[in-house]
Amino acid sequence: MALAAAPLEDVFRALSDPTRRRVVERLSRSAASVSELAEPFGMALPSFVQHLRVLEGCGLVRSTKEGRVRTYRLVGGRMRAAEGWLARQRADVVCVQELKAQAADLSGEMRGPGRFRGYFHHAEKRGYSGVGLYCRREPHRVIEGVGVRDVDSEGRYLRADFGRLSVISVYVPSGSSGPHRQAIKFRFMDHFLPCLRALAAEGREILLCGDWNIAHKEIDLKNWRSNQKNSGFLPEERAWLGRVFDDIGLVDVFRRLNPEPEQYTWWSNRGQAWAKNVGWRIDYHVATPGLAGHAQRASIYKDERFSDHAPLTIDYSLRRT
């Protein structure tokens, strides 16, 4: 929820005592939902949301529906460590990558932490890749894969449709382990670009979240000069991502909101990369322009460390229809 009219506390000051009493009487019958706006007003969360619902019904305030989406590259085996974090999220959707687990490996808590329900696309190879979506609302449709054998066998794409909005968890291969894996990465990119064009042409609002394993520009990694011949910052990879943004017209949402340097989502486990913030920004929210225009806030969560990636969160505010 985000207020789009008078501040709530000002509205209450303007109400007469009898009106306040009538509002309070209706509060006990109003349903509450999660909102972060309670904190500035010093109200308990349920009370705040109930107040807002009543005032909306009286026409005293207008509201927008705000959706929060997080993407987090787990790095397999760390999923259990992140269960508590997942259950605490106020997000509407959490996209995760590199599950490294089959369906039989997932505990009940992993399938549905807190108020979330999980959906997964597993790799055929055990202990490898895999992506997931944790959703508060049940999607209208879930699609595993893009219909390309080489891509789908590695569990790298999962789409959930909510009305005219599609949220997709995507995991682009890494090529850092050697020429063989870099060749697989390039093949993935060749297959995936037409898929992205088709998505953009659907006429839906699209949000692709995940580990793209490419730093787009020099600002997106600390040591860009020494990495120009390394996977993740190769000229061919950067040019490909440029086509995603410039030719297809999709938007790097984080960069639209935050143009500052040293905003990284991945750090090597070697040396003091994390402590010294020697990182790369390779996790993205990539959206259609209409949805990107509703992005409000972006943050990279570094209070806890579950893996060599950090969760990237963006709030989107969409007017009710």
Q: Which residues belong to the active site? A: 211
Tokens (6 digits) for 211: 């580990």
Whether residue 9 contacts residue 41, with contact meaning beta carbons closer than 8 Å, is answered with: yes
Distance between CA 281 and CA 221 in Å, rounded?
Answer: 6
For tokens 């959706």, the residue is 67
Tell me the longest C-alpha to C-alpha distance in the chain: 75
Taking CA atoms, 22 is separated from 10, 18, 42, in Å, by 17, 6, 21
Dist CA 30 CA 51 (whole Å): 8
Structure-block tokens of residue 294 = 């509703």
> What type of residue sits at position 151?
V
Closest-CA residue to 203 (of 175, 253, 166): 166
Phi-psi region of 271 (alpha: psi -120 to 50; beta: other; left: phi over 0): left
Distance of CA 103 to the CA centre of its chain: 22
